[in-house]
Amino acid sequence: MSDNTMTSDKHGAPMNQQSVVRLLRNNGGIVALLIILAFNALFTPNFLQVQTLFVNISQVATIAIVAIGMTVVIATAGIDLSVGAVMALAGALAPLIFQSEFGTAYPVLGLIIAFAVPLLVAALCGLFNGVLISYLNVQPIITTLILFISGRGIAQVLTNGNLQTFSNPSFSYIGTGKILGLPFQGWLALLLACIVYWIVTRTIFGRYLLAVGGNERAAKLSGAPVRTVKIGAYVICAFLSGIAGLIVVAINSASDAARNGNLMELDAIAAAVVGGALLQGGRAPIFGAILGAVIIQLVKYTLLANGVEDEVALIAKAMIIVLAVYVQQARKE
């Protein structure tokens, strides 16, 4: 699944008996997706309806967007636990801005700032993570734990722990709008995936990213700016998390700092891993992450729609991760 999203344009492997097995193993994600879809088509009531599609797209978009960022970070052999907290922080800031005196006085300017400032703050969070990791050599899991804890705290302090409700159709467009009949955030996720895919495969940053993750010492000795690359990865991840945070707020027309992005880090890591990212770094299957996000979302939906409780759904999610890791191991031979 991941190999397709990487740079293997010309894989002239000859067909033999084993190739079917290999095909299955390398495209396990697609196969899993088809099985889930088939199951739902047969057993889940009202699954083949446009409404179901809308619900799933609008819910999967945020996971997918964060998973793209997570994949970039994992490509450096890092991890980012702070994505959920960054979502909460960005999500808390936006309504504060467009509901402020300034925001109500100048609605257009207020709206622009309500997008710009939260995303800037999110990017700064990524900068904070990246600097600590690359200059102070703090382990990524510990570094991002700092914002994992404090980021949501800051968001709650900013909102006094209250639920902020609002009515702002312009802002809510990113969570409720439709283009060609499909939810806006679905298109946005796709667009972001394309952009990041382009960055990873076509730019010098992307090449360095994979080199740093694949063999940091070799990359450094070949002149790669290792620190800058790592910082860049965390900034991208945090920025995308910020976008996801704004979308969640827009969907609900309310900002709840306590719940926005809660447990998102787990969904995003799971989606990235299911999509073929290797935790030891060196690989960035961006569209794999989208596929992983879709699978996670559909499993959640399937269980929910068939009356299985949320708690049980969590166990199912864990099973998927185990399966994905198993397939990865098998592929390494």
Partner 1 sequence: MAPSLIQKTERVVQSLVTMKTIDKAFSGVPALRSAELEIVPGEVHALIGQNGAGKSTLIKILTGVYRKDSGDIRLRGEPAMISSPGEAQKSGIATIYQELNLVPLRTVTENVIMGYEPKMLGGLINWRAAHRHTREILSRFGIDIDVKAPLGSYSTAIQQLVAIARAVSLDASLVIMDEPTSSLDDREVDILFGVVRELKNSGVSVLYVSHFLDELFRICDRVTTMRDGQTVGTRKLTDTTKLELIADMLGRNIEEIEAAGMTDFGGAERQLGETLLEAKGVATGPRLHEFDLTVRRGEIVGLGGLLGSGRTEAARALFGVDALTKGEIRLKGTTWKPGNPSDAIQDGIGLLTEDRKAEGIVPDMSVRENMTLALLPKLTRNGQIQTGRERELVESFIRALGIKTANMDQPIRELSGGNQQKVLLARWLATEPDLLILDEPTRGVDVGAKLEIQAIIRSYVERGFGVVLISSEFEELVEGADRIVVLQDGYSVTTLQNPGVTEDMLVRAIAHHHEAGHA
Cα–Cα distance measured from residue 69 to residue 286, given in angstroms and rounded to the nearest whole number: 9
Q: Which one, 16 or 137, has the nearer CB to partner 1?
A: 16
The alpha carbon of 223 is separated from its chain's Cα centroid by a whole number of angstroms, namely 30
Whole-number minimum distance, CB 288 to partner 1, in Å? 15
Among 36, 211, 246, 250, binds partner 1 (CB under 8 A): 211
Is the torsion defined by CA of 218, 224, 226, 231 positive or negative? Answer: negative
Torsion of CA 245, 246, 248, 252, to 10 degrees: 140
By beta-carbon proximity to partner 1, the closer residue of 203 and 306 is 203
Contact between residue 292 and residue 28 where contact means Cβ atoms under 8 Å apart: no
Stretch that binds partner 1, among 65-73, 153-161, 174-182, 196-204 (CB under 8 A): 196-204
Q: Which of 25, 52, 55, 207 binds partner 1 (CB under 8 A)?
A: 207
Q: In terms of CB distance, is 153 or 214 closer to partner 1?
A: 214
67, 293 contact by CB (below 8 A): yes
Residues 250-289 that bind partner 1 (CB under 8 A): 282-283
Task: By CB under 8 A, tell whether 109 contacts partner 1.
Answer: no
Q: Which stretch, 26-34, 64-72, 144-152, 220-228, contacts partner 1 (CB under 8 A)?
A: 220-228
- Number of residues in contact with partner 1 under rule CB under 8 A: 30
Which amino acid type is present at position 90? A
**Closest CB to partner 1 among 14 and 307?**
14
User: Looking at 25, 33, 225, 305, which residue binds partner 1 (CB under 8 A)?
Assistant: 225
Give min distance, CB of 204 to partner 1, in A.
4
Q: Is 83 exposed, middle or buried (0-12, 13-18, 19+ CB in 10 A)?
A: buried
Per CB under 8 A, 205 contacts partner 1: yes
Q: Is 25 in the site for partner 1 (CB under 8 A)?
A: no
Question: Does residue 307 interact with partner 1 by CB under 8 A?
Answer: no
What does residue 125 show for φ and ψ, rounded to 5 degrees?
A: -60, -45
Residue 9 binding partner 1, by CB under 8 A = yes
Does residue 330 belong to the site contacting partner 1 (CB under 8 A)?
no
In this chain, which of 179, 218, 312, 323 binds partner 1, going by CB under 8 A?
218
| Three-state SS at 278 | coil
Q: Count Cβ neighbours within 10 Å for each residue of 47-82 and write b for 16 or more, e otherwise.
A: beeeebeeebbbbbbbbbbbbbbbbbbbbbbbbbbb
Contacting residues for 17 by C-beta, under 8 A, at least 6 apart: none
- Measured CA to CA in angstroms, residue 235 lies from 45, 93, 260 at distances of 42, 18, 20
Q: Distance between CA 118 and CA 90 in Å, rounded?
A: 5
Least distance CB 150 / partner 1 (angstroms): 33
User: Minimal distance in Å, beta carbon 300 to partner 1?
Assistant: 32
Report the candidate in 177, 195, 198 with the shortest Cα–Cα distance to residue 186.
177
* Least separation in angstroms between CB 223 and partner 1: 4
As measured in angstroms, the least distance from the Cβ of 109 to partner 1 is 31
In the list 49, 104, 162, 203, the residue contacting partner 1 (rule: CB under 8 A) is 203
- Work out whether 219 is an interface residue with partner 1 (CB under 8 A): yes
Beta-bridged to residue 164, according to DSSP, are 255
21 contacts partner 1 (rule: CB under 8 A) = no
- In contact, 100 and 110? CB cutoff 8 Å: yes
17 binds partner 1 (CB under 8 A): no
Query: Which residues in this chain contact partner 1 in the complex, by CB under 8 A?
Result: 7-14, 16, 202-205, 207-208, 210-211, 214-215, 217-225, 282-283
